[in-house]
Chains A and B, each alone.
Chain A
């Protein structure tokens, strides 16, 4: 898994702050699974916002910059590395 420590602090998507935009940095998944996740709409470089988390460790409700909304399993969200978007950053 590639993580660029020079950029803003990275974290797992599962731990991202609610309502704050983040950028997907890396997908810690095997190749085929990563390709599928990207095809659904969570690709490297995509900007997403976590809207809410389901109770009891359930899935995350995420909105992508394309306007799509997705339910993402918590386990999957732990494998996705994101970094915070600075205010005024490009979409």
Chain B
């Protein structure tokens, strides 16, 4: 009778322990995912903001890598690193031909928090489109 009681108590204690462990672990996971989600959003919006601002200011169109790097570093948060690649194409007889490539920033590093985005812009010569440009960026936590 006494042994039976012990077994029941042990059984209850083990069950409670398992439930609490799962509950605690699940709660930690939910919390971590929120932090990660926000950091990814911040990095992605920073990447798109920078490429748009550089386009608006005519910095990207200059295709001057040191000027672009300086402009990026003046606004990029110290926690982040950013790599930017711009490929330029020109319309030659109806097909796009690569006419230029430029990369700015360090090599992409493996990081738990890293994100990537793309955008495009065109440059004009007078009223006509001169080049079609594809911008690609990678941004990650240092």
Does chain A bind chain B? Answer: no
Binding site for A on B (CB under 8 A): none
Binding site for B on A (CB under 8 A): none
